[in-house]
A and B are shown apart, each in its own frame.
Chain A
Amino acid sequence: MKKLLSPLIVLVLLVGLNAVLPSVLNPYLLQVLMLIGINIILAVSLNLVNGFTGQFSIGHAGFMAVGAYGSAMFTLTQGVPMLAKLTAMGIPAEIAQGALLLVALVLGGLLAALFGYLVGLPSLRLRGDYLAIVTLGFGEIIRVIILNVDAIGGARGLPGIPKWADFFWVFLMVAVVITLARNLAHSTHGRALFAIRDDEIAAEALGVDTTQYKVLAFVLGAFFAGVAGGLFAHFLSYLNPSTFQFTKSIEIIAMVVLGGMGSISGSVLAAIVLTLLPELLRTAGALRMVIYSLMLITLMIVRPQGLLGTAEISLDLMLERVGLKKKPTSPARGGAR
């Protein structure tokens, strides 16, 4: 019962906020909020690869693009006609739309995961910098292919994607990816990933199939990047290949590094900060990106381990800090991570 309670609370909260927010927030703020959600998914999913497993992937925007275009094409070719059919059968439009969006997101995610598998299987036998170069190349190849395939809009972009992704769907996926990452971190599989990050040879020597785990982390990360791409497509209703440039990958890496490698709450926090910051700095005009970059540099000098290091924000920890709760005599399991 207790196990079901918190998902239920989250669901009720999401539905409630979804109904209220559009009338409280202006469209601009709502859009920023949605982008924060999508960036959280991207950052947490990249953290599975770069933070948990210690691999350096810089092609996350490529997987996002695969998911975005994949899910958008499904919706445009299959989803829209199906919605008409389903509503004609008497199914309420909202439910049919949600179900079709979910299918599109999962398909986009699976397509990205497949690409992740194809890229990861040969390249994850390589170490560090080689992998970085392979993933960088992959991301660029994807973008160039999209740019040149006329059927998906080419350089003109892909317009007319129905705007099905609302607050509910974006933050539902945020909840899913965070829950999954958290559960992974506390499992045997998670420990195996951390072991690979800390010392690959030692992990292999202890019986961890390091290649298999690296591919697993990579595929999982690619899947959620694809889901984020799908949400992005169904929220902006227009896709353009230039969105998925190398700089987008760097932006996501910045969130992971700034938040703290391996810290899930760190990724969330950094995704929020790095999405808000450029918006807040709009008043600075031409100096906006200069200030933004300077702040990034300063943060990295002051806190090289990231905002949270490898620690996690937890309610217990916060209560301890303000003295409302006594510190347990032996620190909680995994609390130091």
Chain B
Amino acid sequence: MSQLQVDGLDVYYGAVHALKGVNVRAEAGEIVTLIGANGAGKTTLLRTISGLVPAKGGRVMFEGKDITKIPAHEIVALGISQSPEGRMVFANLSVEDNLELGAYRRKDGAGVRKDRDAMFQLFPRLLERRKQLSGTLSGGEQQMLAIARALMSRPRLLLLDEPSLGIAPLLVRDIFKNIVEINRGGVTVLLVEQNAHMALSIAKRGYVLETGKVVLEDDAAKLATNDEVRAAYLGG
């Protein structure tokens, strides 16, 4: 049994059929990436897994449990955490407060403080700015904060939505290094990216989404050399 198994998922936005029978799985400890153009349904898939968007058909299984109908705020407690697209940090709260909100469902104060310090080790830039309002951070720093905040709930599965979006290339490299490090710590990562090159370089397996369907599924290394993928997403 895979840690995460998505079977025949159908999602609609009003009349728009956003996901059409999508099957995706992730084994414990993997980095799996979803690549595809804008509007392919990558973000929708992540949001359906985390409960933010309701599924019309199909199901989402996590560690053997059907979580399709469970509301978003309870899914966090089950061990799935999401760093949403466009970062979405709480701009009027400090870096520290953002991190504490990440641990919102946890009751172990000492453990939360320990994890917060661990986040500051992972992202030293956040430590320098711990008291600063997060709205005043740079894009890259906000992305780091969004990832750190998602990790504060101690997830076993981390959903990352476009961590490279609008961030300086040098910082993107740093952030991808962080993702690998997080994964080595035992967290399964489901990574949505438009930067297919970077994503495939750190992932074990990958899926290609096109207009709501999985059109390709393979080892990341093979996808990176696949002619169609190269032509469509890797710039030839």
Contacts and interface: CB of A to CB of B under 8 A. Distances in A.
A202 B90 CA distance: 8
B80 to A, nearest CB: 10
Nearest to A261: B92
Interface string A292-318: 000000000000000000100000000
Contacts of B150: 206
Contact of A330 (B52, B76, B82, B131): B131
A198 B73 contact: no
Given A198-B91, A199-B88, A206 B52 contact: no
Contact of A208 (B73, B93, B97): B73
A202 B92 contact: no
Given A204-B52, A331-B131, A336-B133, A210 B89 contact: no
Interface residues of A, number: 25
Contacts of A336: 94, 131, 133
Interface in B54-106: 71-74, 76-77, 81-82, 84, 88-94, 97, 100-102, 104-105
Contact of B101 (A201, A208, A331): A208
Please tell me the size bucket of the interface on B.
20 to 34
Contacts of B88: 199, 201-202
Given A195-B90, A330-B131, A337-B93, 17 more contacts: A199-B89, A199-B91, A201-B52, A201-B88, A203-B101, A204-B52, A205-B82, A205-B84, A206-B81, A207-B105, A208-B73, A208-B101, A210-B73, A262-B92, A310-B92, A336-B133, A337-B92
8 contacts: A191-B100, A194-B90, A194-B93, A205-B52, A206-B153, A207-B104, A330-B131, A331-B131
Interface of B: 50, 52, 71-74, 76-77, 81-82, 84, 88-94, 97, 100-102, 104-105, 131, 133, 146, 149-150, 153
